[in-house]
A and B are shown apart, each in its own frame.
Chain A
Amino acid sequence: MSTLIGRTAQAEWARIWSVRSSWIFAFATAAAVLGIGTMIGLDASSGPPPDGTAWDGALPTGFFALFGILAWATVCSTADHTSGGIIPTLQWTPRRGVLLVARATVIAATTAVVGLLLVTAAGLVIWAIVPAVGAPAGEAAGLIGRLAFVLTSGALLAVGIGLLTRSTAGALVTVLALMLILPFVLAQLSLVYTWLESIAAGMPGSSALYLVFGEGPYEEMTTTSARITLVAWVVGALFLGGLRLIRGDADR
């Protein structure tokens, strides 16, 4: 893989896994997802036989995987700017558009794949604890397909916001606000101020939750509209973040 984009992607891969924080995020997300999966399995084993399969039981763990990889992707995309490492990075890869594509692709692919593997593992844990629920392969593919879109979109959104803010704290607050806090707060407020409902439905977090659980508080939301909303946020964040990376001075 000796093309420019290939070499840059290899460097990004090495950059992610050569710092301790990546391993900490991966293990912390694994602990949360597998821990929740284990609790769901134990809960199911102690009561009457559940209706769904192991994959239905694993669905809520996708929510925890999402927030684990949001934080991880945010830190990955801001680390160069907070440490000053962007100076050597741009010396080694001065084609900033190439760096943007490689960075966004590798961070999103890495974190999303880890998230999917963990949710799959959580499903298998539930199945191991309650074999009666079953774990049909066809349903696993459906779960993974649904989560893959949400996790990848979430990671790309985090990368875009990270590149835009160039600050880990600022990016984390922004990402968590868009994905968790604002959708929740606006949903509550929209019970009183109904005009806020469309704004709440337009938050990326509302779309992500709808796509994970297949339902939500907003009647007009569909799978297609949720996907379009999420993609629009991702494109917007990557456009603005990419613009700052490509057009701006390296670290000012």
Chain B
Amino acid sequence: MISVQGLTKTYGSLRAVDDLTFEVEQGMVTGFLGPNGAGKSTTMRVVMGLDRPTTGTATINGKKYAEMTRPLREVGALLDAGAMHPGRTGRAHLRVAALSNGIPATRVDEVIEQVGLGRAGRRRIKSYSLGMRQRLGIAAALLGDPPVLLFDEPVNGLDLDGVRWIRSLFRGFADEGRTVLVSSHLMSEMQMVADRVVVIGRGRLIADAGIGDVLQGLGGSRVRVRTPRADVLVAALGGATVERIDEREIEVIGLVAKEIGEIAHRAGAPIHHLAEVEQSLEQAYLSLTGESVEYQTSGGTR
């Protein structure tokens, strides 16, 4: 289990993480979400002992990372795929990691095959694409077969095959009972793979809940209705919350399709289309982080 308690990290006058508290349970994939500059990477760096917390603590299975003597056997992490010596071969990079943690050299070849690098492992890292560097970073994380795994934007640069592979990898790890924390901006990916999400904005916790609870938090079900007598239906719906799409189409919030169908029938409004709108994690994320976006384009971020 990963435990972050009252964590604050400042860089000069910048408060990157602000009194953040959450826990990551074993046996599930936890998505770590937030806009750019929200403090996700900083939090992961503190958890991994790379940056010192200003206040608060971050522990993994009750221990600070900096106290571990064979950390690769306890925690595997991919934080920055670009942070490698470009003049070393992929295999040599992993060999150094293995030596530092007393891991047999045979394991290096195993993880190279596992992540699909194959013969590219003998090439220098400077010739690698971003996707290949991601795979090498994932190989290093898997080297010690650890029970806890952290990945910061792991699908960056991966092709479709790689994305599908890593999705099944995370699912498999969680099913084996491991602790998996994954940060990503790809909400569709998170929705497919995460069991739980921790959402932060401007360094603060916004949400820490199961995927279902987060979606529910958007305000319940939404139903899209198309009818030539939309005004009649809106009047018949009484106090229900209605969003007007156009003169023939509305979205009703808080009622289910069956209820709306019966009201429309009684009101004499013929229904041409009636469907529950599937809520996405992306909508939930945008709704939750709307006030917390650090960097906005001139036209707004959304």
**Can you list 26 A-B pairs, Cβ within 8 angstroms, ordered by A?**
A7-B99, A7-B100, A11-B100, A14-B92, A18-B88, A18-B96, A21-B87, A79-B85, A83-B84, A86-B83, A87-B50, A88-B84, A88-B93, A90-B49, A91-B48, A91-B77, A91-B140, A92-B100, A93-B100, A94-B66, A94-B68, A247-B52, A249-B51, A250-B51, A252-B11, A252-B51
Q: Which A residues are closer than 8 A to B by beta carbons?
A: 2, 4, 7-8, 10-11, 14-15, 18-21, 79-80, 83-88, 90-96, 247, 249-252
A64 to B14: give the CA distance in the assembly, Å: 48
Q: Do A88 and B97 touch across chains, with their CB atoms under 8 A apart?
A: yes
Given the interface contacts A80-B85, A83-B86, A249-B52, does A92 sit within 8 Å of B72 by beta carbon?
yes
Per-residue CB contact flags for chain B residues 57-85 toward chain A (1 = under 8 Å, else 0) read 00000000111110110000101101111
Within the assembled complex, what's the spacing in Å between the Cα atoms of A85 and B48? 15
Taking a contact as CB atoms under 8 Å apart, the answer to whether A18 and B89 are in contact is yes
Are A84 and B80 neighbours in the complex by a CB distance under 8 Å? Answer: yes
Chain B nearest CB: distance from A98 CB in Å? 9
Give the nearest-CB partner of B141 in chain A. Answer: A91
B100: contacting residue among A8, A21, A249, A250, CB under 8 A = A8
Counted as pairs of residues, one from A and one from B, with CB atoms less than 8 Å apart, the total is 94
**How extensive is the interface on chain B, given as a class?**
35 or more
A249 to B48, CA, bound (A): 11
- Interfacial chain B residues near A249, Cβ < 8 Å: 45, 50-52
Whole-angstrom distance between the alpha carbons of A249 and B50 in the complex? 6
Closest to B83 in A: A84
5 further A-B contacts with Cβ under 8 Å, apart from A88-B84, A88-B140, are A11-B97, A91-B50, A91-B79, A92-B72, A252-B51
List 3 tightest A-B contacts by C-beta distance, closest first.
A84-B83, A11-B100, A18-B92
> Which residues on the B side are within 8 Å of A92 (C-beta)?
71-72, 96-97, 100-101
A85 to B100, CA, bound (A): 14
Q: Tell me which residues across on chain A come within 8 A of B68, comparing CB atoms.
A: 94
User: Cβ of B83 and Cβ of A14 under 8 Å apart?
Assistant: no
Tell me the complex Cα distance, A4–B71, Å. Answer: 11
Cα distance, A195 to B275, chains bound together (Å): 91
A87-B80 in contact (CB<8A): yes
Q: Does B102 contact A (CB under 8 A)?
A: yes
Minimum C-beta distance from B182 to chain A (A): 17
A94 touches B49 (CB 8 A): yes
Cα separation A250 to B47 with both chains bound (whole Å) = 13
Q: Which residue of A lies closest to B98 (CB)?
A: A11
Q: How far is the CA of A92 from the CA of B137 in the complex (A)?
A: 12
How many Å lie between the Cα of A251 and that of B48 in the bound state? 13
| B95 at interface, CB cutoff 8 A | yes
Q: Which residues of B contact A7 (CB under 8 A)?
A: 99-102
Partner of B85, one of A8, A85, A90: A85
Kindly report which residue of chain B lies nearest to residue A84, judged by CB atoms: B83
User: Which of A7, A10, A91, A94 has the most chain B CB atoms closer than 10 A to its own CB?
Assistant: A91
Chain B nearest CB from A188 CB (Å) reads 40
> Which chain B positions have C-beta within 8 A of A79?
85
Most buried by B among A8, A80, A249: A249
Report chain B residues within 8 Å CB of A90.
48-50
Contact A250 B50 (CB under 8 A): yes
